A and B are shown apart, each in its own frame.
Chain A
Amino acid sequence: MNTPNTLTVKNLKTHFFTKAGVVKAVDDVSFSVKPGEILGLVGESGSGKTVTGFSLIGLVDEPGRVVGGSILLNGDDLARKNEKQWRELRGKKIAMIFQDPMMTLNPVLRIDTQMIEAIQAHEDISKQSARQRCREALVRVGIASPDERLASYPHQFSGGMRQRVAIAIALLHEPDLIIADEPTTALDVTIQAQILYEVRKLCSETGMSLIWITHDLAVISGLADRIAVMYAGRIVEQGSIDEVLDAPLHPYTKGLIESVPSRNKRGAKLYQIPGMTPSLLNLPAGCAFSSRCSAKQSDCLVATPEITQLGEERQVRCFHPVKQEEMA
């Protein structure tokens, strides 16, 4: 039960220092991932989930910077690494899978060149044994006739195949942590299901941790063990997937779940969270969600709610959490 966490993020703050002011894209975010566990990081566009992912791999673009907090990967604080140490970690201990598989492979290089390059960046290994490793990685993600595929160029692959290759590249060094930034968004649903199945299997087989960044609750519900919901740079609710989806405590999570179309509610008007994500440049005083919240009260406009710990893993950041009988 008490396995040490692969990743522990504490009070992470990533701010962007723009001309118009400081944008707190990630503000006081804390979460942890255990070995073999899949954490779903959910939120709308601009909620800071991608920036969180990039902070974890040390690739926040200018003018952004990690300004506070700690990122512990197996007890090693990444927030204090310099560029050279980061480069040794990237690909080796932490890997990333991107959204659009059409864009993430170099169009002019063959798959084997790209994969062998990725291995040789971290290991002093002969081309033959590197190629063997590439073959195994391709087989592991369910690609048939790997030899033929290795000699192909990215344009000869379909979208699903390319994403498999991208996953295979991420797996080459058996990293402790993989950050996947909406990797199935660009794929059609059947391919999506296959990829999700493979990823689940790989996580439980190898014991690597996975952070799956997405806005698709349907994908997350079938994949993740735990879920963290982000809003305006903060985690507003966190907990096991069943708890959070069955009994959301934060009004925002509840709104998100209710906006998923379902067959049971066919013909009925789909719920929509009113308003828009506030600009991170000038967040209102008090709770960032207050302007769109149906349950807001006067105290929501004054103070920012702190995290309330409920049970071992359950957290919510709200003064007036949803009472369960309200959920129809």
Chain B
Amino acid sequence: MTIETSLKPPRKQLFSGDTPMSRFLSEFVESKVAVAAALLLFTIIMAALFAPWITPQNPYDLAQVSVLDARMEPGEQSFDGYTFWLGTDGAGRDLFSAILYGLRISLSVGVTSGIIALVIGMSVGLIAAYVGGRTETFIMRIVDLQLSFPASLVALMLLALMGKGVDKIILALVVAQWAYYARTVRGTALVERGKEYVEAVTCLGLSHARVLFLHIMPNCLPPLIVVGTVQTAHAIALEATLSFLGVGLPQTEPSLGLLIANGFEYVISGKYWISIFPGIALLITVVSINLVGDQLRDVLNPRLRK
């Protein structure tokens, strides 16, 4: 029996070669679920990116929307013969089109705020770990303070103060999330800083900035990428929450959260589709990002490696 197993031909490697990237890819494709999630996510991103070219109507062009088509059930046909596969909302907009346009906004807000929060959090965390002493204590206490409040509460307070707007919600999401990145990076950077290669490059006379950003930073990236994906999913969900509560994006820039909110009043009267379909779209997006993030964590964490 043991001989049989040892005689098995080695599993075919999709990506060979010896660069860290190809090793990473070959380990990533080991999970079918993660690959499916990644493909799904890719499709969602593409659909959102190219929404103007693939949707049957621009839901926010009043010339294309007719109130006569309002609250149509999924599959019903309009007067000019067009089928609304996902139904229409209270203003007669095609839900399929509205969802893709909503995805555009949800994704861009989530990703933009995620990237800004990552850059800020990473820099702050790296500097805290590298400088140490009082600076580190000061920075990390701010992080602790920030993390002791729920992210949604912080964002709500900020938006209540600043008002609506895409830029404002991105700012609110950044403020609510940078601390997660800062804490993660500081932990890894502390470990990296104690390693001998840092001492070795210091002995080469490299400047602090180069040691920190060229040598320590790349070694801190793996856990950061994982936190980044999970936090981006959080950001998208949080933005939907805020928009649902009416403090997020203005009506002119409807994200998925706003679509759900708009359809909420109709749910009681049996017109489930106006809320449910954007909700499902949000769910699929967040879940697929999280699934990709899970696999990233498994691949990038050396402790979980076989």
Contacts and interface: CB of A to CB of B under 8 A. Distances in A.
Interface of A: 57, 59, 86-92, 95-96, 98, 100, 103-109, 114, 117-118, 121-122, 153, 156, 166, 169
Contact of A166 (B195, B200, B215): B200
Nearest to A96: B203
A103 B204 contact: no
A57 B201 CA distance: 12
Contacts of B153: none
B207 to A, nearest CB: 7
Contact of B218 (A86, A109, A156): A109
21 contacts: A59-B199, A86-B205, A88-B205, A90-B205, A91-B205, A95-B203, A95-B204, A96-B200, A103-B195, A106-B218, A106-B219, A107-B197, A108-B20, A108-B219, A109-B218, A117-B214, A118-B201, A118-B206, A121-B206, A121-B207, A122-B205
A100 B18 CA distance: 23
Interface in B176-197: 195-197
B205 A87 contact: yes
Given A98-B196, A103-B195, A121-B210, A108 B202 contact: no
Which has the most chain A C-beta neighbours within 10 Å: B20, B195, B205, B210?
Answer: B205
A103 B219 CA distance: 13
Nearest to B206: A121
Nearest to A105: B197
Given A103-B197, A106-B219, 10 more contacts: A88-B205, A89-B205, A90-B203, A92-B205, A98-B200, A100-B196, A103-B196, A104-B199, A118-B206, A153-B19
Interface of B: 18-20, 195-197, 199-207, 210, 214-215, 218-219, 221
A107 B218 CA distance: 10
Contacts of B201: 106, 114, 117-118
A269 B15 CA distance: 58
Which has the most chain A C-beta neighbours within 10 Å: B197, B202, B210, B219?
Answer: B197
A87 to B, nearest CB: 5
A96 B206 CA distance: 13
Contacts of A88: 205
B205 A121 contact: yes
A126 B137 CA distance: 41
A104 B200 contact: yes
A103 B18 CA distance: 20
A76 to B, nearest CB: 15
A149 B124 CA distance: 35
Which has the most chain A C-beta neighbours within 10 Å: B196, B201, B203, B215?
Answer: B203
A214 B232 CA distance: 51
Given A98-B199, A104-B197, A169 B219 contact: no
B215 to A, nearest CB: 5
